Amino acid sequence: MRKRIFLLGLISLSMVGAFAQSLQENLANLEFYQEKLPFFQELITGAQYPEPPKNHEGFPFLKGRSFEYGGLTINQVYYPDIPLLYDIRYDQVITVHPIYMQKLLINPAKINSFRLGDGSNFEQLTGNESYAHHKNGFYEIVEEGSVTLLAKHYKIPKPTRELGDYVAKYEEFEDFFIWDGGQFFSIKTKKSAIKTLELSKKLVRENLTRKGIYYGSNKRRYLKMLIQIHSQIGTENE
């Protein structure tokens, strides 16, 4: 009996020690947040991010499920090393509470831009509200030059026909836009991209087709190259 009580006492002390260590780490996290984000409480909408349905295959986030340290620009002030997730189902930026370790929504009205852990950069833009997936207006800056190539990432849950644990699965999409002087030009085909940039077919053929770069194989790479060609022409004409 004494041995059992002794063992229970050791377990209790171990649990208390672990809790104290966890609390200490969380308080350190809080201090870190307060240092990085002096207006931390102001940035949070107050709403806890609702976890995605468990009966959906996949996840609504871009890149992955895990938080990665990125950067966040709020009211034109940049804060590095902030744990971020980007929900592209609802176009929401998420962080984690430093003490309770809960996913929290960051008020989109306060976000100018953000950078994810892989280095991809996003800006909140206006002027494309008629686009069905504009939502909070976060667009990836893919290529910058005389004009800017934007990508809009989004996921849609599609019902599954197979019997099993999942009733739907997330399908990911990427739409491209050319942004010029605050105007959005939707790019749905190779032809629309070339026409929007006013490039000659001969120039495209010499710089892309002959080098084995095709729109159908890699849209992102192809469009980035078009922007670079367009920017080079603009520089030469100056």
Do 97 and 151 belong to one domain? yes
Determine the pLDDT at residue 10: 36
Please compute, for residue 94, the number of CA atoms within 13 A of its CA located in the half-sphere on the CB side. 27
Count up the domains in the chain and report the number: 2
Do 20 and 7 belong to one domain? yes
Do 175 and 135 belong to one domain? yes
Do 71 and 123 belong to one domain? yes
Q: What is the pLDDT of residues 67-109, one digit of tens each?
A: 999 999 988 888 888 899 999 999 999 998 777 788 989 989 8
Task: Give this prediction's pTM.
Answer: 0.82
Residue ranges making up the domain that contains 153: 38-187
52 occurs within a structural domain? yes
Do 152 and 165 belong to one domain? yes
Domain termination site, one of 187, 213, 230: 187
Domain termination site, one of 163, 187, 211: 187
Alpha carbon distance 46, 8 (integer Å): 40
Do 72 and 181 belong to one domain? yes
Do 67 and 48 belong to one domain? yes
Do 16 and 65 belong to one domain? no
Do 29 and 67 belong to one domain? no
The whole-number average pLDDT for the span 192-215 is: 93
179 occurs within a structural domain? yes
Do 147 and 108 belong to one domain? yes
Determine the pLDDT at residue 74: 86
Do 159 and 83 belong to one domain? yes
236 occurs within a structural domain? no
Q: What is the mean pLDDT of the chain?
A: 83
